[in-house]
Structure 1
Amino acid sequence: MRDKRAKFVELAEARVNRTVKDIQLIGNLSNRSAYAYTDEDIRKIFRALQKELDAAKARFGGENSSKEEGFKL
């Protein structure tokens, strides 16, 4: 059982931290001096991200919100 927990913690921390970094990179696309985009483009991006986040949350059966620097279990 401990091996399953250790593997979960290892993978969850790596995946969440990677995802947070990728979301920050998406935020960098807001630089209008480097990129051209429409309000509809932004709605599509965030609608897709929210849809996947909601689906992942549903698989766990709940919500757990936290504001931390980096993700740790």
Structure 2
Amino acid sequence: MKKESKRDKFVRIAEARTNKIISMIQLLGNCSNHSLYEYSKTDVNKIFNAIQIELDEAKKRYSKQDSQKGSKFTLE
């Protein structure tokens, strides 16, 4: 059996994780249904600001810039 290269391992894991994130974002979008959920514009802004911060931090890690591990998200 051939040993998996670092590139092959990256592609396999990055694709799986990216698809998982996309799926979770789509599920988050389901929460926009006002007939099922109650939320404010402030709540929505907090959610998407938290996501954007984590995206920016993850991207920094690829460019070797300083980054900080994120914390758990909460609306409260």
Shorter-chain TM range is 0.7 to 0.9
Structure 2 residues without counterparts, runs of 5 or longer: 64-76
Count of aligned pairs: 60
Q: Distance in 1 between matches of 2:32 and 2:19?
A: 21
Give the 4+ runs in structure 1 shifted more than 3 A. Answer: none
Q: Which of the pair has more CA radius of gyration?
A: 2
Alignment of 1:54-69 (within 5 A): 54-61=56-63
Structure 1 residue 18: Cα displacement: 0.4
Structure 1 residues without counterparts, runs of 5 or longer: 62-73
How many percent identity over aligned positions?
Answer: 53
Q: Determine which structure has the larger helix proportion and give its number.
A: 1
Aligned to 1:37: 39
Return the match for 2:14 from 1, 12, 28.
12
Relative to the length of structure 2, the TM-score reads 0.76
Aligned to 1:27: 29
1:46-66 residue CA offsets vs partner (Å, 9 max, x unmatched): 0100000000011112xxxxx
Relative to the length of structure 1, the TM-score reads 0.79
Structure 1 residue 3: Cα displacement: 1.2
